[in-house]
Amino acid sequence: MKAAIFDGQDISIKEIPKPELENSQVLIRVKASGICGTDLAIVRGHLLTPTPLILGHEFAGEIVEVGKKVNQNWLGKRVTSEINSNIDFECYYCQREIFTQCISRKALGIDINGSFAEYIAVESYLIHELPKNVSYIEATFVEPLAAAYQTFETMPLGSDDKTIAIFGLGKLGLLLTQVALINGLEVIVIDGSDKKLSMAKKFGVKHLINRFEVENVVNKIREFTNNLGADIVVDTTGNPEALIDIVTSCKTRGKIHIKSTHGLETPINLTDIVVREITLYSSRCGPFDKAINALSSGVVQVKELISQEYPLDDIKKCFNSYEKNQDHIKSIILI
Ligand SMILES: [Zn+2]
C-alpha cells in the first residue's frame, strides 16, 4: 500500500506492505485524513516520536476486513476512529474508565502508525460508525471536535462563567468557538487573521480582536469584560508567547484552559496565577458520540473550515503550504 512515512526529518511517499490484521482489529481503507497541529509539531521536530512513522490521526474510511474476534457486521461500514490504542483495560485509569489515559496507551499517528496511508489497522473498540449525512471529509473533524467538547467536560461551568476568550482561531479554536456558543457563553476571539476572525463572526461571535491591529490585546479583552478580564481563557494557539497575555487577560479567580500541544517550553507567570487564584485546566481527547451527533444534526459547521484538499502523493506540498499561510485553517489529505 501507499503510505506517507516520516523518518524524523522529512515525509516521503513509500510503498509498504498492508498492515497485518490482529483478531481484535478492523482494517480501514482510509478515505480522508486531516492534518493537525500535532502533526506539524512532529514534523517541525518539536514533538519527538519513534521513527519511521506514518503520521495522521484525524481520519475516516470504510472497513474492508475484520479480525476473527470482531463482529462481522462491521464489514463495509463507514467509520472514524479514536486515537488511543493498545488499552490494557486493567490499569488504575482503565478501572476508572479513563481509557484515554491508560498507562499502556499508544496514540495512532504519534506513538504507532497513523492514517496518512491507504490502510490502517485499528482495535475495534476505537471505531465509531458515521451517520449517512456525515461525509468522510467532515468526519475528519470528529476527533478535534470531540477535543473541543472535552474542554467543557473537564471544566464545569459555574454561574459566574459568562465570558470566554479564545486565543487562536485554527481548526480547534473555530470548533471550540462554536461549542462555547452552544454552551451559551459570550465569546471573545483573538487571532491575527481577518479571514479567521470573520468566520468566527459568521458563527455569531460579537467580540473580535485582531492581535496585529490593537495596541494591547489584554486591554481590549478588559474593555469587553467590565475591566475584570475573561471568566475563562483558552489557549489553542500553539504559540508559547501567547501564554503571557492568556494569564494576564484572565479574571481573578477565573479559569485558564490549555489545549495546544506544540511540544515547546512555555513562559507562564505562575505567581500571578497563585496570587489571583486562577484555576488551570487542560484537556485533549473527548466524547466522539457528541461530536458525531453535532456534525450530523448540523449544530457545528465544519465545511467552511476546510482550506485545502490534497491527494496523498502531494502531502509534503500540503504541509509546506500550511506553514506559509496565515489564513490557513484545515488541510485534508484525500486517499
Ligand atoms: Zn489501562
Retrieve residue 26's grid coordinates: 478492523
CA of 72 to the centre of ligand 1 (A): 26
Long-range contacts of 4-8 (CB under 8 A, 24+ apart): 4/54, 4/55, 4/56, 4/116, 4/117, 4/312, 4/315, 4/333, 5/52, 5/53, 5/54, 6/42, 6/43, 6/49, 6/51, 6/52, 6/53, 6/54, 6/55, 7/51, 7/52, 8/51, 8/52
| Band of pLDDT at residue 90, cut at 50, 70 and 90 | very high
* pLDDT of the residue at 98: 93
Q: How far apart are CA 167 and CA 95, in angstroms?
A: 35
Q: pLDDT tens digits for 187-223?
A: 999 999 999 999 999 999 999 999 999 999 999 999 9
pTM to 2 decimals? Answer: 0.92
Ion ligand 1 — residues with CB < 5 Å: 88, 91, 94, 102
CA of 84 to the centre of ligand 1 (A): 11
On whether the CB atoms of residues 212 and 236 are closer than 8 A, the answer is: no
Q: pLDDT tens digits for 99-152?
A: 999 999 999 999 999 999 999 999 999 999 999 999 999 999 999 999 999 999
* pLDDT of the residue at 317: 87
Taking residues 250-268, what's their average pLDDT? 88
Q: pLDDT tens digits for 5-49?
A: 999 999 999 999 999 999 999 999 999 999 988 898 898 888 889
Residue 325 pLDDT more than 80? no
Residues with Cβ within 8 Å of 156's Cβ and at least 6 positions away in sequence, in order, are none
Three-class secondary structure of residue 31 per DSSP: strand
* pLDDT of the residue at 239: 86
| Band of pLDDT at residue 315, cut at 50, 70 and 90 | very high
Q: pLDDT tens digits for 270-308?
A: 999 999 999 999 998 999 999 999 999 999 999 999 988
CA of 182 to the centre of ligand 1 (A): 33
CA of 51 to the centre of ligand 1 (A): 24
* pLDDT of the residue at 299: 96
Retrieve residue 179's grid coordinates: 461549542
Taking residues 53-77, what's their average pLDDT? 97
CA of 89 to the centre of ligand 1 (A): 5
* pLDDT of the residue at 229: 98
| Band of pLDDT at residue 260, cut at 50, 70 and 90 | confident
Q: pLDDT tens digits for 139-176?
A: 999 999 999 999 999 999 999 999 999 999 999 999 99
Retrieve residue 138's grid coordinates: 467532515
Residue 261 pLDDT more than 80? no
* pLDDT of the residue at 166: 98
CA of 86 to the centre of ligand 1 (A): 9
